[in-house]
Amino acid sequence: MSGMRCAALGMLVATALTAPYSSAQCEDHEPGRRAYFGDLHVHTRFSQDANWRMGNTQVGPQESYQFARGAPLLLPPYDAQGKSERRVQLARPLDFMAVTDHAEALGEVRLCADPAYDGPGAWLCGAGVWTRLLTGFAARALPISTLCPPGDAACDAAAGAVWRDTRAAAQTHNTPCEFSTFVGYEWSGMAGMANLHRNVIFRSNQVVSRPISAREARTPEALWDALDDSCRDAVANCEAVTIPHNPNLSEGLMFAPILSSGEAMTARVAQQRQRYERLVEIVQHKGASECFGGLGSEDELCAFEQLPYSNFLQKYLPLLGEPPADDSRYLREALREGLRQQARLDINPFMTGFIGGTDSHTGSGGAVDESGYTGNHGAQHVSVDRGAAQLPDRVEQNPGGLAVLYAEENTRDSLFQALQRREAYATSGTRIQLRFFGSWGYPADLCQQPDQLGQAYAGGVPMGGELHSADSKGRVPVFLLSTQADPGTAAAPGGLLQRIQVIKVWVDAQGNGREKVYDVAGSDGNDASVDLATCKPQGEGYQRLCTVWQDPDFNGSRDAVYYSRVLENPSCRWQQRICVANQVSCEAPDSLPEGLQACCDDSVPRTVQERAWSSPVWYSAG
């Protein structure tokens, strides 16, 4: 690159990083707020595991943001000229997105991209894929260095350059009122084999000078302290949230009532955690974390996208860990544990709302359709023979979900405020519209009122809010639930709604976790199904559902948490669609090509009930 071009690029990056954020009101500003769909968990070639996997991704943040807005994206594997026969494109672009590359090994990945690099640890650049990945993985859990020793100038410079590129891409593609981007990254801390990962999302382009990784801040508490020191107290207007993901793979540690030191949760850390952890990712391509259960349990719908292993490595080495358990690795128990800590500390550290995400490692944020799923791990599960029919991912994994934020307009500031007040919900990939409000006095006919939304806000709190006994005046909490089916597209219409549920969780006098699921609108008796031979849906359903529901079992002396779950009629899961398209017959499974053998894996459902989960409403008896 010539000196003139370098100088011009440098000026562009500098302008992007320092440009003031515009808070001008959009023309379509909506005081009653609208739902915006996005993805706050996306990896590109800047991430070690995305870059160093077989058929590594070549997509950077710039291309990833372009994809989110509707541009096509080429996927691994690539040929010698960097071309690919695999591509993906969103039928419906996103409203917002954040690229969240792993903070760990940012410098290593950039240095290894230079074939002339011969500094410390250069041998690792030429090592095999698994050697590089396992060495990097070990560095998250153990106090060891990989390619970059502490304080190495070349590594520090490379990591700084990647962070500048990340920030510049977010700032360049941020288009207030049309498409919002957030500067972010992933902190990839571990406790042994247990996942403690968080996505760090900043409110604006006022951010830390360098991502705080799990090498510098090895525990969540250290991360929050470092964000206090390096962001909140050091940079004007710097605000951040940390969003845990995959608690289902945390071996119960993500929402444990103890600190990383093994000591009991303290009020200081509980307050700090409540300030930073406003939301949690309830679903992504590595499974759902709502609740533990399945056939024979009180809530069979808990079996949705539930993984059979408890940590990242156990899927490759089943003996490294125990089977999933009914503890705080699932969010219903995490919510209950929060109530226990509220009673002990007078503050709830686990008062968190719900969003979804993809955790895409190909830069394809928001690519969540079951139809045409291309996999989230590059070419790790795709044969080099790109013409061969094959499943593009491990069959127990899924396309991932979406984050939905209720905001007045599509701007960083408005969306970040929604994130902070937890007025957010998750979907499994569908674009269901969902409203959930709690109150002490909604009228029974609110669904029929023309100013339904105005009354809902004026007389209660939206999802993510709190109800207090001091305001009850002896009344029972009442909830407004309203939902609309995903309209889909002309080529792929959305699914019909089946029902709305309210899930209530609480802790009894003995400290035991309790829960109850209420069907409040629609019906599971609509006989809806799907033809597995054609993937054509069958049966009746609903385009809209709305109800005002009152808790029939309310106990004003007990804290409780309520959230809503909306279910679509059954449809074909992603692998079944591919198997049907390739006319797979399981009468002779041994004769199937290697890439399609999982079509006959009976341990994974062939159908799916797409769904949405609202953030909770908390009732406080104190």
Do residues 375 and 392 touch, judged by C-beta distance below 8 A?
Answer: yes
Task: Please give the pLDDT value at position 297.
Answer: 73
**In whole angstroms, how far apart are CA 393 and each of 134, 242, 358?**
20, 28, 13
Q: Distance of CA 617 to CAs 32, 63, 435, 511, 596, Å?
A: 19, 38, 12, 21, 44
pTM: 0.94
Residue listed under structure tokens 């209950």: 336
Q: What is the pLDDT of residue 570?
A: 97
pLDDT at 298: 84
110: which 2 tokens?
């950039």
Taking the alpha carbons of 149, 153, 157, 160 in that order, is the dihedral positive or negative? Answer: positive
Residues 6+ apart with CB under 8 A from 232: 238, 239, 240
Amino acid identity for residue 494 in this structure = G
Tally the C-alpha atoms within 13 A of residue 441's C-alpha that lie toward its C-beta.
Answer: 7
211: exposed, middle or buried (C-beta count within 10 Å: 0-12, 13-18, 19+)? buried
In DSSP terms, 77 is beta-bridged to none
* Contact criterion met (CB below 8 Å) for 613 and 428: no
The 10 Å Cβ neighbour count of residue 260 is 16
CA distance 13 to 317: 44
Angle in degrees, CA 176, 210, 418, rounded to 5: 35
Q: What is the helix (H) or strand (E) element at residue 240, kind and residue range? A: strand 240-244
**CB distance 531 to 465 below 8 Å:** no
What is the Cα–Cα distance from 255 to 21, expressed in whole angstroms? Answer: 35
Tokens of 459: 């007389």
Q: What is the Cα–Cα distance from 321 to 312, expressed in whole angstroms? A: 10
Q: DSSP character for 204?
A: S
According to DSSP, the residues that pair with 619 across neighbouring strands are: 467, 560
What does pLDDT average to in each consecutive run of 10 residues of the chain (622 residues)? 38 43 77 97 93 76 98 89 88 98 91 84 71 62 61 89 98 98 97 94 97 94 98 97 97 96 97 98 98 80 95 84 90 98 97 98 97 85 68 94 98 98 98 98 97 97 97 96 97 96 97 96 92 96 98 97 98 97 89 89 95 98 90
Strand partners, 281: 245, 355
Per-residue 3-state assignment (H helix, E strand, C coil) for 100-121: CCECCCHHHHHHHCCCCCCCCC
Asked whether 500 and 564 are in contact (CB, 8 A), the reply is yes
Report pLDDT for 16: 44
Alpha helix stretches (DSSP H) within 220-352: 220-227, 267-276, 331-345
Residue from 389, 370, 361 nearest 305 by CA: 370
Q: Which of 21, 24, 5, 1 is nearest to 13 (CA)?
A: 5
Place of tokens 């515009």: 22
Burial degree of 426 (CB within 10 A; 0-12, 13-18, 19+): buried
With the C-alpha atoms ordered 112, 118, 122, 127, is the resulting torsion angle positive or negative? positive
Q: How far apart are CA 356 and CA 288, in angstroms?
A: 9
Q: Is the C-alpha dihedral spanning 137, 139, 140, 143 positive or negative? A: positive
Q: How far apart are the first and last CA of the chain?
A: 65
Cα–Cα distance for residue pair 370/610, rounded to 1 Å: 10
d(CA 483, CA 543): 8
List the one residue out of 174, 171, 175, 178 whose CA is nearest residue 28. Answer: 178
Q: How many CB atoms lie within 10 A of CB 338?
A: 27
Rounded Cα gap, residues 160 and 163, in angstroms: 5
Q: Sign of torsion, CA 301 305 308 313?
A: negative
**How many other CB atoms are there within 10 angstroms of residue 191's CB atom?**
18
Query: What secondary structure does DSSP assign to 303-314, as a single string?
Result: GTT--S-SSTGG
Q: How far apart are CA 351 and CA 464, in angstroms?
A: 9
Rounded CA-CA distance 491/603 in Å is 31
- Asked if the bond preceding 77 is cis, omega within 30° of 0, the reply is yes
**Domain residues of the chain, as ranges?**
28-427, 433-620
> Are the C-beta atoms of 209 and 125 separated by less than 8 Å?
no
- For 159, the token pair is 């990591």
How far is it, in rounded angstroms, from Cα 529 to Cα 501? 19
> Which amino acid would we find at residue 291?
C
Options 3.40.1710.10, 3.20.20.140, 3.90.226.10, 3.40.50.920; CATH for 28-427 is: 3.20.20.140
The single-letter code of the amino acid at 127 is A
Distance of CA 147 to the CA centre of its chain: 30
